[in-house]
Structure 1
Amino acid sequence: MIFIDEFDRLQDAAGRVLFADTIKMLSDRVVRVTIGLIGVADSVSELVREHRSIERALAQIVTRGIDASQMTIRPEAVRKITALSQGLPHYTQLLTQLAAQAALTHRRIAVGGPDVDVAVGRALDRAQQSVVEAYQEATTDTRRSIYPQVLLACALAPENDFGLFTPSDVREPLSRILGKPYKTAAFARHLDELSQESRGEVLQKYGTGRTSRYRFLNPLLRPYVAMRGVSEGLVRVQDLR
């Protein structure tokens, strides 16, 4: 049991996101620990305030890093980085650094959208080996299949407060990726197999049948999959939630 006292006094939005991200990581990895946040507030939502401030906090991470480098960044580039980060400060910092390097390569101190596009490719090259291997194990097939597209649709699917999504949440993004309507029954088997050892167990499944819910076992895989989709032209940054 770990208690964090006077949590309400933490006013820095970026700090709150880091706390929320740490708690989510512990939950995703099923670490046997209980976190107790202690503070003064009318409700738990008011105490944490993570969902409403996360995008603003990620944007602050971007601008602070750029300001520290005595550079500037266009609003479009900030929006791209925060969307691609999928809520994880790790990717926010990495993409900001790589985008700044891309701008400096062309002797510019202003970071723009094209620099972020370059950063995406470089971030994919720098991804953790375990993340790359998990993606390959989940999507590689000797026959033509839609496992890569299904996994990408999972990365785009809306999540609830616990990071879970349903098969019906996957239907709309998958239909958009493949360019034609898909019914849940057409890819239910793929979701089930992505949660099994034969496909690297990249998804964690809860419940059965219509009550089944899924989430990424490794939180770092979700933004990696999303960035691959953008890099390969399967989706646009605007499609990311």
Structure 2
Amino acid sequence: MNDLHEWFQKNDLCPENILYLYRSDRKTVVHRMDGEEAALYAPLHSVLSVLPENLFLNISKGIAVCRSQIVNISNDGIYTMSDGRTFQGRKRGLSDHRRLRAEIGLADTQPRPMSMSLLEKCSLLDDMPLAFCVIELVFNESGHGVDFIFRYCNAEMATIEGVPVEEMLNRSFYEVFPNGDKKWLVSYADVALNGTRHTLHDYSPEVDKYLTIHCYQPEPGYCACVLQAIDS
């Protein structure tokens, strides 16, 4: 136990800066919130024994995550962390994941119908030759946007994103794109919360394209986006 405490101090680790822990090559890897990692030959349960039990969750064999840094738990038990990394939780007892999602106050990613008038308006854009989507923002306890959920996508979205529409609908961005860039979140959250409009021009590593994205608020809490690929 003392050796573990010394190892934590040597690697500048403490409960407040650990994002998640996982097993790799017979080692337990501790991933800090700044992206740095440290690994040691010790079982995961031994490392967890020196951390506050109420702060970390052992979600499956070989994976433990910081409870406060979970931004989404899907109905399939996929945990999305604040850095965009996803982990598959235990597949048995999926109801436990849903119960935990409610317990820690995460947004429900099950379809939550928008107003019929908005859905009707969106349906007019099903075959529009420009990509269009409506996303619902997910906020943490501090009110910062940490993820978003695709609530509507027209057919052209599949061309821009390279993912079938049915694989995007009602799923969080970081489920669809586990290594997705967070740079869009600030603008999307501003639109969803404040009703401002933004036009974004930037490279999207998720789809390997430069995009122009026009954003506006169709309803409070939502951001509508028109996306167009542009020449670099």
TM-score w.r.t. length of structure 2: 0.28
Greater helix share, 1 or 2? 1
TM-score w.r.t. length of structure 1: 0.27
Greater strand share, 1 or 2? 2
